[in-house]
Amino acid sequence: MANAEKTHAALPYTADEDGMLLIGGERADDIAARFDAPVFVYDRRLIDQTVARLRACMPSDLRLHYAIKANPFAPLLEHMAGLVDGFDVASAGELERLSQHPQSDLPVSFAGPGKRDSELAAAIDAECCVNLESEGELNRLAQIARQKGRLAKAAIRINPPFELRGSGMRMGGGAKPFGIDDVDVPGLLQSWPKDALDFQGFQIFTGSQSLSAEALSEAHGNALRLALDCACYAPKPAKIFNIGGGLGVPYFPGDKPVDVDAVGASLAAAMDALRDQIAETKVVMELGRFFVAEAGVYLTRIVDKKRSRGTTFLVTEGGLHHQLAVSGNFGQVFRKNYPVALANRFSRAETDLETVNIVGCLCTPLDRLGDDVDLPSAQVGDIVAIFRCGAYGPTASPSGFLSHPACQEILL
């Protein structure tokens, strides 16, 4: 643990008297033994704390939506349904995952380029709001709605003229496959097909994985104002202004957690300044990783320990086929280490530290889980724990690559 704390933002995990990592009150070795395979362990109490913390510093009428692409594990979705005010899906497959929890009647939006006709039809059937990514998509949705004799809920996803500065993934500003350019929005609204589409509002998603309160506040304020400008041309008052989210997670050494108090205070000021104009409109913040990343630990056993030309390698039975992001191949330019520790020697004041490279079992040099990490001297059978793995894990990784066993998941 000392190693992880030295370089990464503090972790919310403890160990028992044997030095064994505890997750959700359970020993990591017990969990690993139960699954006999690499496993993602999600701690629901940490998710609860994160959502509560965010709510405490955001305007009380801000709606929090969960983008399920971050983690669509069924028990976790069920848990999230009790915490958030809505969901965002990015495919009919994700919509289907949500529909397996019919007890949740929270609003759902569907964003993402390239929606097929069958997906648009599924969205209409599910009464989900389609966030339109192009004029062509608008026309197809209207046509399908007419064929069904239904009114489809639809919002415009605007490609804004600004971006979320410094974000890990920029989703707005410039030429983008996402959303409709802001300059084209007034024209589309003025010719809105009222017979087929029930106008809901706007979504402006400018980026993801930002740790800068200043950049986030600027993007949220800009999004609010742009949505308001566009609303003048709308066929009816907007019910929803989805201003995106973008709150990041301190994955790497030196990263600092987002100052959510500052983001909340700035958004409250922006919303207050526009209070009269948005009285009838729900302002939505849409987040994925921020809710769930901290609550997830990836556990994988060491199957081999070897030396090669002076370097020690710990070879695990997991790898990038379960957790691509940790290997650095999911949007990173230069690979950096996630927080990592030996689960079975998590809290002791260790004296026998050694510098190791942790790798996965795939026969590719891309499969790196930790470079030059100082860990207590590890043995075959020990368990490597990688932290902040609750988002973009199994479903964002190439699970079929090399046909190794799939990982397991559990929510505690």
Ligand X SMILES: Cc1ncc(COP(=O)(O)O)c(C=O)c1O
- Helix 74-81 and helix 44-57, axial crossing angle in degrees, nearest 10: 40
CB of 174 to ligand X, least distance (A): 16
Task: State yes or no: residue 91 binds ligand X (CB under 6 A).
Answer: no
Figure out which of the listed residues 245, 264, 296, 339 binds ligand X, where binding follows CB under 6 A.
245
CB of 336 to ligand X, least distance (A): 17
The CA distance from 110 to 113, in Å, is 10
Binding segment (CB under 6 A) for ligand X, from list 34-42, 261-269, 280-288, 342-350: 280-288
CA geometry: angle at 79 spanning 247 and 24, to 5°? 85
Which residues inside 186-205 make contact with ligand X, applying CB under 6 A? 205
Figure out which of the listed residues 42, 251, 290, 338 binds ligand X, where binding follows CB under 6 A.
290
257-280 burial, b at 16+ Cβ within 10 Å, e below that, comes to ebbbeebbbbbbebbeebeeebee
Which residues inside 303-362 make contact with ligand X, applying CB under 6 A? none
Task: State yes or no: residue 40 binds ligand X (CB under 6 A).
Answer: no
Which residues inside 71-90 make contact with ligand X, applying CB under 6 A? 88
CB of 70 to ligand X, least distance (A): 4
Figure out which of the listed residues 72, 160, 288, 296 binds ligand X, where binding follows CB under 6 A.
288
Residue, CB closest to ligand X: 288
- Which of 203, 408 has the CB closer to ligand X? 203
Task: State yes or no: residue 286 binds ligand X (CB under 6 A).
Answer: yes
Tell me the number of residues near ligand X by CB under 6 A. Answer: 16
DSSP character string of 126-147: TTPEEEE-SHHHHHHHHHHHHH
Coil, strand, or helix at residue 225? Answer: helix
Nearest CA-CA partner of 173 in 181, 332, 208, 189: 181
The CA distance from 390 to 287, in Å, is 13
DSSP character string of 68-123: GGG---HHHHHHHHTT-SEEEESSHHHHHHHHT-TT----EEE--S---HHHHHHH
- Which of 86, 288 has the CB closer to ligand X? 288
Binding segment (CB under 6 A) for ligand X, from list 46-54, 285-293, 352-360, 398-406: 285-293
CB of 391 to ligand X, least distance (A): 6
Q: Would you say 398 and 328 are in contact if contact means Cβ atoms under 8 Å apart?
A: no
Q: Would you say 347 and 15 are in contact if contact means Cβ atoms under 8 Å apart?
A: yes
- Which of 73, 205 has the CB closer to ligand X? 205
Chain residues in the site for ligand X (CB under 6 A) = 67, 70, 88, 111, 169, 171, 205, 208-209, 245, 286-290, 391
